Amino acid sequence: MKNLRNILFYIIVIGSFSVLIYAIVCAGETLQTGRDIVTNASEKTVFQEFVGSILDNLHHSIGLLLLQMLVIIVAARLFGWLFKKIGQPSVIGEIFAGILLGPSLLGTCAPDVSQFVFPAISLTNLNILSQIGLILFMFVVGMELNLKALRNNVHEAVVVSHASIIIPFTLGVGLTWFVYPILAPEHVKFSSFALFMGISMSITAFPVLARIVQERGIQKTKLGAIVITCAAADDITAWCLLAVVIAIVKAGTFVSALYTILFAVLFVLFMLKILRPFLRKIVKRYHGESDKKNLVVLFFIILILSAFFTESIGIHALFGAFMAGVIMPDNMNLRKMFVDKIEDISQVLFLPLFFVISGLRTQIGLLNDWQLWKITAIIILCAIIGKFVGSAFAAKFVRHNWRDSLSIGALMNTRGLMELVVLNIGYDLGVLGTEMFTMMVIMALVTTFMTGPSLNLIERLGKKKNTESQ
C-alpha cells in the first residue's frame, strides 16, 4: 500500500509539473516575435546528426583528452604485459607502445586516425599532464633512494658510479665532434650540444634497475646491495650534473650560469641540512590517521614548492621533485604509504602519457639513410662501451670478481625511462633535433633491452666456469 501511494505521488508531481513546463515553453515562443531567430535546417538524418554531435564532443579538449588517455593506457598495459612475458621490464613495452602510437607506425599506416586521436593542437594538454606525472614519479624515485645503504657502501659505489658517468660522458662529448655538423640544430652551440650528448650517455635508470634486481631475487645479496648503491650514487650525481648542464645551456656559458648553479647548491644544502632534520622532528610528533593526512598535505606542499623553485631558477622542476623525495623522513611506514599513494597513479595513468609524447617526437622514418643508421649504431656502441665496460672495469678495480663485475656493468647499462626524461628535456630546450632525439631513443631501448639477456649470459658463463673448475 505504501509503495502504491509513493508511485501515485510520483506520477502526479512529475506529470503535472512536466505539463506546466511544456505550457510555459509554448507560451514563451510568442515572445520571439521581432527577433532574428535562425533555425538550423539540416538535410541530415537524426542518426547522422547524433553521430556528428558525438564527433564534435570528442573534439572538445576534455573529450579528446579522455579518449587519448584511454587509448594510451590500454596500449601501454598491453605492450607492458607482452614484454614482461618475454622476460623484459614492462617499462620497455610501455615505451615501445608510445613509439607505435606516434608517427613511426600509427602516423604512417593510419594518418587520419593519428590526426583524429592526436591532433597537434591537443598535445599541449597531454604534455602538461605527462609533466605532472613525471614530477610525481621523480618524487617517488627520490624517496626510494636508501641513503643509509649508500653510506654503507659509499667508497665502492662512488668509484664505480662516477667511472660509469665520466667514461660515457667523455665518449658522448667526443662523439659530438663528428655528429655536430650533421645533426645539431642551427642555433645550438657546440658546448650545449656536447654537454647534452654527454649527460644523455651517462644516465642509469635507477627505478628500472631496482625492479630488475628485485625480479631476479638478488636484492638481499652483496651484488644486489652494491649495484643498487652504485645506481643510487649514479642517480644523484647525474641529476646534479644535469642541473648544471641545463643552467649552462640556458645561460649560454658557464660564467653566465654561475648564479643559477649557486642557487642550486644553496637549495640542495637547505633541503639536506635544514628541511630534512625539521621534517624528522615533525614526523616524530605526529601519530594517528588524522595526523597522517596533515603530513600528506605538508609533503605535497614541499614537493610543489621544490619543483617550483628549481623550475624558477632555470634548472628543471624534476630536480626539485627528486630532492623533495630524497629528504623525506626515514620512517619506512610513512614512505611506503606515500609510494603506495603516488606510484600506481603516476605509473599507470601519467607515465604512459609521457611515453606517447616521447613517441610522437620519435620519427624513425626520418632515419632514411644508411649513414644515419651507421651513426645510430656508433651511438649505441659508445653507450655500451661507456656504461657496460666502464662500470665492469671499475667494479673489477675495487676487487669484485669478473662475474659480479660484468653483472654490475650490465645493470648499470640500463637506461629506460630516465634516459627519455633527459632526452625530452634536451628536445624541449631545442638542443636535440628530431633525428638526434630518435637515435638516442633507439639507443635507450637497445641498452635497456639487452640487460636481461646479458645477465642470463653472464650467469650461464659463470656456472659453466664453476663446473669446469670442479
The closest alpha carbon to 183, from 434, 424, 427, belongs to: 434
pLDDT of residue 55: 61
Q: How far separated are the first and last CA of the chain, in Å rounded?
A: 91
Phi-psi region of 322 (alpha: psi -120 to 50; beta: other; left: phi over 0): alpha
454 closest CA partner among 379, 391, 400, 394? 391
CATH class of 106-460: mainly alpha
Tell me what percent of the residues of the chain surpass a pLDDT of 70: 88
- For residues 396 and 406, the answer to whether their CB atoms sit within 8 Å is no
Which of 99-108, 164-173, 214-223, 326-335 is least confident?
A: 214-223
What is residue 399's predicted lDDT score, i.e. its pLDDT?
A: 78
Q: Find out whether 196 and 249 touch, Cβ atoms under 8 Å.
A: yes
Give the pLDDT of residue 367: 85
Per-residue pLDDT band at 151 (split at 50, 70, 90): low
Mean pLDDT of 178-202: 91
pLDDT at residue 423 above 70? yes
Query: Does the pLDDT at position 88 exceed 90?
Result: no
User: In the prediction, which pLDDT does 180 show?
Assistant: 93
What are the domain boundaries of the chain?
A: 106-460
Cell digits for 338?
Answer: 606515500
Task: Name the pLDDT band for 335 (thresholds 50, 70, 90).
Answer: confident
Cα–Cα distance for residue pair 324/272, rounded to 1 Å: 10
- Give me the pLDDT at residue 57, please: 62
Show the cell assigned to 236. Answer: 644523484
